[in-house]
Structures are given as structure tokens and as C-alpha cells.
Amino acid sequence: MGVSRNLACLFLLVLLVIFANGDDPYRFYSWNVTYGDIYPLGVKQQGILINGQFPGPQIESVTNDNLIINVYNSLDEPFLISWNGVQQRRNSWQDGVYGTNCPIPPGKNFTYVLQVKDQIGSYFYFPSLAFHKAAGGYGGFKIASRSVIPVPFPPPAGDFTILAGDWYKRNHTDLKAILDGGSDLPFPDGLIINGRGSNGFTFPVDQGKTYRFRISNVGLTTSINFRIQGHKMLLVEVEGTHTLQNAYSSLDIHLGQTYSVLVTADQPPQDYYIVVSTRFSSQVLSTTSILHYSNSASSVSGPPPGGPTTQIDWSLEQARSLRRNLTASGPRPNPQGSYHYGMVNTTRTIRLQNSAPVINGKQRYAVNSVSFIPVDTPLKLADYFKISGVFSLGSIPDNPTGSGGYLQTSVMAADFRGFAEVVFENPEDTLQSWHIDGHNFFVVGMDGGQWSAASRSNYNLRDTISRCTVQVYPKSWTAIYMPLDNVGMWNVRSENWPRQYLGQQFYLRVYSPANSWRDEYPIPSNALLCGRAIR
């Protein structure tokens, strides 16, 4: 590990020249990724640990910090970590998905060098290769505001991260084999909170004080509902956007999404259930943790409070109630509402429709009929080195084709500084969750039925939420406005991990002809090379 630390120091010196961010602090992390025995649902299985921990270590950062994260791969297979919602401004080289990075070989290390440029909020990291996400390897990622930037609520007495989601008792290798064999996964075996099953985790609070909970759905297949017995939750932030501070009894959190709430310990002194349950599933799974008052007079008793189950309209109305706090500052000292997204003319409309075709006798998933297949060389490297035959621009259409599914390494071209209207169309009976790397976008509308140009008349063009992951309800559509303001090769994917693994993803190549460091950083000096990029 001493060699790895020396490498990290060397890369830092290089970056001091490249980035010239002398005023922005550096934070150093050294992670060793191993397999280890875990028991999330009471059954021994092989998990992915980071420094011996599941979930992995929390990343604590402040806007504009430079993070030097040295990852040593002690697994017996290649490995990558990606950063869900961290935008990697001008720097898709650090995104940590196979379309941009060569995997870290077994027994080797790679040092991620990333800056949380002009961001605040709550996110998480996760392993992006080989269905590793089903084995753990994820953790929380917090970006605090700089001290000179006012935050629209008093400092809480404590700050808790909740990483919740569905879980399988089978090892990730067995789940991957099911998908590789052409079948879909069975229903999950249970839910976990911070790596543990029911009542396996306790959150201590003092009566009368207010606490911040950052809640992420890090599961594989299922939306969840989150609630705290007897307590209201004041929503304050969604994936980097300060919100109007509406109070909720429970929150739907879809795959890949993160919400930040304030909870005041204003109830009689005892213990209360924190509950997570599945949404839109015929079988309802649930799990609990404990909110423990320091002066508690009694432990939890009776059944945990129930929540919504299959009601779509209820969830849709809640989603529409999310509003941007137009008077709050974001990462910079100016109101978030000063960017009038509704007054910008869109330069392009892209309609993306999910489907579940069977191709060559195997279950696949597709976007506009294209089911993505990886190739031997990361697309970003092929683009940089001008390696022909790896991918072609335009290999995925801008609109649904209505045709059957086919396999393709799909890459969509986009112009830097464009402003796109993207409509996600979901003709299926299952809820979809979409994520776009490298960008935040404005969720301008969502509704049931078929989208048409007339749907624009009901868009929210004033104060909608800005985020990086959005749901699309069954037989419904969701429309977003997205500034194409980040040059690079960016993954657009389903957050339903079997769907992502079996092709419901593609890459968006945001291109600037200027070829300037002002638009995109150069290839890192420590970039790993693989496939046809090895010369």
C-alpha cells in the first residue's frame, strides 16, 4: 500500500499543474476492496467490503474539494467504482463506468482524481461492473456547502446517512448467472438498511433536537417507501437542489434516488420504528431500524406503521409536489431560481422508450429498440484515440422505432451547450427509474398515457426540481429539460440493475469541436488502458 500512496502523491503534483485549483482543498482516501462474509438477511454470503466495511466508508466533502481516492482491487476479478450523481465536470475520465474507464485489474490499484465542482447535496457511490452492486461495495457521498454560502435551514444536531434497498440471499455471481442465462431475476428476498436487516441499526437522537437524514435507494429492482413512526419529515434537498420545505409522512424513493429530510425529535421519549417497504410490488417487503431517544422510556412495540403499496396516483402527486426553493443559494452565492430554465429555447427533442424484447432466445432490455452491448474498449478511450470499429455515432435513434429489439453498442451524439428536451416513455406495466451521468436536469412534467406535443402545455417551467435520477410510472411519461453543459462520454441508464445489465442503457457523447481544456480536461496521466487502446 506504500507504493499506492506514493503514486497518489505523484498524481497530486501533476494535478496541481493541470487544475491550478490552489485554493480548493484536497482530501485523500485509500480504499482496499475485498470479499468478505456478510449476513444482511441472516444468511452468510460473499459481500464486497471497502476497508473491511459494508457499507463502505462515507465520503465527506465540501463544494469544490478535490478528492484523491486510491482504490486497490484485492478481488479476483476486475472492478470499478462509479459516483451516482457526482457530475465530474469536464472530466468523464473519472466517471467509473465501463464506457469511460478500463477496469482495475485484480491485485492492482487506480487513483480516482475528481473535483466536486459547483455541487452540494447527498449522493452515493457503487461498484458498476459485473453485477457487483448486488454484493455491496456502496457507500454514502456528502457534499456540504462552503461556509460562506447560506443554507436555508439551521444546522441540524446530527446528520445520518441511510442506504436502503432490496437484497438477495444469493451471491452476486449466482444472480449474474441467471441474467447471463437469459432469465430475469426472481423477487428479492428482503430489504436492508445500512447493510442490516430488521432492527439491525439504531439512530440515537436527543428530545427536542432536529436531525438530517440523507436517504438513498441503493437497491437493484424495487422502489421503496420511507417513513418514521410518529414523525413528520421536512424535505430540504433532493440530489443537490434545495427544495421548498414541505412536510411528508412518508416518501417514495425510487431506484438510484436520494432525498434529504429534517426530522425533529418532538414526540414522547421512547423508541420509534424507521420503516422501509417496497412499492408497486404484488408482495410487500418491509424492514425496520430504530429511532432511539436518549431519554427513552420504552422500546418499540406493536407492528410498524403501514405505508402505501401499489397506489400510483398517490406517488405521482407526491412527485409533482417537489418544488425548487427559488430563494436559496446553491453551491454558489446566488439564488437557485436565477437560472430561468423555462425561458431557454430547447435545441432538440429526444424521446426514449424502454422495452423488454427477447433477443436470440434470451431476455434483454432496450431503449428505442436498441439493447446495449459492451465492447472490448471503453468508448471514451476509443473516441480519444480515434479507434475505428468500436462504436458509431447515431447507433441509437432519437425516437422510438416500434420495431423489435436488436443488439448494438449504442452511442448518441449531442452538441455542447445545447438544451435538450428528453421524454422518457414507458409503455410497460413496471415503474422505470432513469439516471444520466454528468448532468442535472429539470423534471418539467410527468403523467399517464402517451406523450404528445400538447403535453408541453402542462409543463412546470418555473420552479420544478433539478436532479439526476427520475422515475417514469407504468404506462406513463416523464419529460425533462437538460442543459448539455458537460463535455464527455456519459452513461444514460436504467437504475433497475438487471435492466441496465441486460441492455437498457446507452452513452451520450457531448462534444465540443474546440478541443480546449476549458471544455474538457485532458486524459489523466494514470489512465488505465485496455482492449484496442493498448498500443
Per-residue pLDDT tens over the stretch 120-179: 999 999 999 999 999 999 999 999 999 999 999 999 999 999 999 999 999 999 999 999
Q: Does pLDDT of 21 surpass 60? A: no
Q: What pLDDT, in 10s, does the model give residues 432-489?
A: 999 999 999 999 999 999 999 999 999 999 999 999 999 999 999 999 999 999 999 9
- Tell me what the mean pLDDT of segment 418-437 comes to: 98
Q: Does pLDDT of 20 surpass 70? A: no
Cβ atoms < 10 Å from Cβ of 193: 25
Residue where the block lists cell 438477495: 168
In which band, very low, low, confident or very high, does the pLDDT at 336 lie, cut at 50, 70 and 90? Answer: confident
State residue 414 phi and psi, 5-degree precision: -145, 145
Record the cell numbers describing residue 198, joined without a space.
430488521
Is residue 303 within 8 Å of 310, Cβ to Cβ? no
Residue type, 203: F
Pairing assessment for the beta strands 432-436 and 469-472 based on DSSP bridges: antiparallel
Cβ atoms < 10 Å from Cβ of 415: 14
Mean pLDDT of the chain: 94
In which band, very low, low, confident or very high, does the pLDDT at 1 lie, cut at 50, 70 and 90? Answer: very low
Q: Does pLDDT of 98 surpass 60? A: yes
Please report, for residues 117, 132, 371, 428, 433, the alpha-carbon distance to residue 183 in angstroms, rounded to integers and kept in the order given: 41, 18, 15, 18, 20
Q: What pLDDT, in 10s, does the model give residues 345-389?
A: 999 999 999 999 999 999 999 999 999 999 999 999 999 999 999
Q: Is 389 left (phi over 0), alpha (psi -120 to 50) or beta?
A: left
- Quote the CA–CA distance of 262 and 244 in Å, as a whole number: 12
In which band, very low, low, confident or very high, does the pLDDT at 252 lie, cut at 50, 70 and 90? Answer: very high
Q: What pLDDT, in 10s, does the model give residues 172-208?
A: 999 999 999 999 999 999 999 999 999 999 999 999 9
pLDDT of res. 14: 43
pLDDT of res. 11: 45
pLDDT of res. 4: 44
State residue 364 phi and psi, 5-degree precision: -135, 170
* Peptide bond just before 55 cis, omega within 30 deg: yes
Helix (H/G/I), strand (E/B), else coil: 264 = strand
- Tell me what the mean pLDDT of segment 218-224 comes to: 98
In which band, very low, low, confident or very high, does the pLDDT at 339 lie, cut at 50, 70 and 90? Answer: confident
- Tell me what the mean pLDDT of segment 234-252 comes to: 98
At CA 396, angle to CA 394 and CA 400, rounded to 5? 130
Helix (H/G/I), strand (E/B), else coil: 49 = strand
**What percentage of the chain carries pLDDT values higher than 70?**
96
pLDDT of res. 5: 42
Q: Does pLDDT of 402 surpass 90? A: no
Question: Which residues of 321-369 form beta strands (DSSP E)?
Answer: 348-355, 358-359, 362-363, 366-367
Burial class (CB within 10 angstroms; exposed 0-12, middle 13-18, buried 19+) of 339? middle
pLDDT of res. 42: 94
